[in-house]
Chain A
Amino acid sequence: MEKKEVIVPIGPYHPLLEEPEFFKLFCEGEKVVGIDWIAGYNHRGIEKISEGKSYDQVPFLVERICGICSTSHPLAYVNAVENLVGLEIPERAKYIRTFIAEMERIHSHLLWVGLAGHFLGYNTVFMWAWKWREPTLDIMELVTGNRGNYGIMCPGGVRRDMSEEDFPFVQSKLDDIKTKVEMLTKAVLDDPVLLARLKGVGILTAQDIHNYGAVGPVARASGVAIDVRRDDPYAAYNMLDWEMVVVTEGDMLARAKVRLLEIFQSIKIVEQCMARLKEIKGDIVVKVREVPPGEGIGHAEAPRGECFHYVRSDGTNRPIRHKIRAPSYVCIPTFEKSVVGGQIADALICLAGVDPCYCCTERLSAVAENGKTLDGETLLRLSVEKTEALKAKGTPV
């Protein structure tokens, strides 16, 4: 008897996804036998817009790529520009950048824990994790003036200095977060029902990680020790004492573990940053007078993995090419390995497990017709032709 496949659509609008995205799960009964990913619902042409902005304006633009990791993109971008110019930034600015980046990691990981709970139908964890995430936003508001997009990175340093008077408040909030996350970690690792849902689900081996080129917590949960903060240190990471969290199991539980344990490392880094910022005085920014022709690359370890920016300059005050690769872009293809063969219920937590961020990912949309990819000029020609045809008919355009 021939088995009949059913397509279970996850998306384009689905409670599992915070953003529009489309996964087709090919299922036989409850078993997933195949997956297809259709992207392009979120394309906003950021790279193209970036070519029309001056170097100082671009951080504000790339910050708006993603609301969750809104400082990783500017950080990677300023790293790229500084790499292009060959600039060394003041030490104080380095620590401030590290502080912001790590606070963002804390908030992003707590956000993920909450969402993962929600996807498992555990709404209490969702609400609690998000409540405990609030102090990080308060800290950000105090330090940068914003709760969401911090607007603090600029080529050559940071825009806003930190005041020592704020540190006691920050410290008290951090202590608060620490005790709460300790409790949460214990609760997650002890709950038999959660373990039943997470353990041994969506396993990715180290070989799979290499094959797909996955990065970030997903790779570190499979025993692949990659972290831009250690492998190619930027900001102040090589001057601080911290450890990379690596777990070898490669299942969903390991991914949750890596993220929860990274919160503690981030708290440790933030505390060290505050201690160093009390000692180091001086400028927070070096004026970038001129950007010479050439190319620069910069990356930053976003909460989801390596975020990569490439900038090319022709000597004017605007980049002529700005290429962005977000971590989710390389993590999403691993679904082929982790989802297929499992049940629908497991598939969905696997989709959430890499913490995919679709608005980060979609830099390019290719339009295909009859199996042939259409390029920009063809699309423009087609569009003009259609307009002409409509005009000829006399239909209002």
Chain B
Amino acid sequence: MFTIVAVAALAGCDLPRDPDGTLKRVRGGTMRVGMVVDTPWVTDSGDGAGGIERTIVDDLSRELGAKVEWHRGSAEQLLDSLHERELDLVIGGFTTQSPWKQQVALTKAYYTDTLMLHGKRTEQPHAVAVAPGENAWQVAVERVLRGKRNEFPTLRRAAGR
């Protein structure tokens, strides 16, 4: 009982915090987003990303009042920059089983795609990558993802195969 009260009290006082203060910096500032093209999740729309995961970035930037700064590159380059906290978020159709999952922080799956792979029905839980250990930031991103959870199936169907 004591712990529940103690935990509830702690949960009230603006925790967790980011070791590098990502959320504070992004709120009302600039969000540095890496994009790896992976149709239909991330497409190149000329002025940045398009596709399903673009809507995540839009919602985040609206919620936090942040400008978006796009960075194009390969998954390896961008995720390495993310690990070094030179980026705040990388989108690129990643799944939670990504081989990069030890180097960066993948969020909870926001949508599970079912497709045929090597003749087998395979479930692919999609996620976006955030800077590892920036927990307040990760919580903020996951809240937005959860808020949008009902939109993803529609977006996915609209995007087709």
Task: Judge: A and B partners, yes or no.
Answer: no
Interface residues of A (CB under 8 A from B): none
Interface residues of B (CB under 8 A from A): none
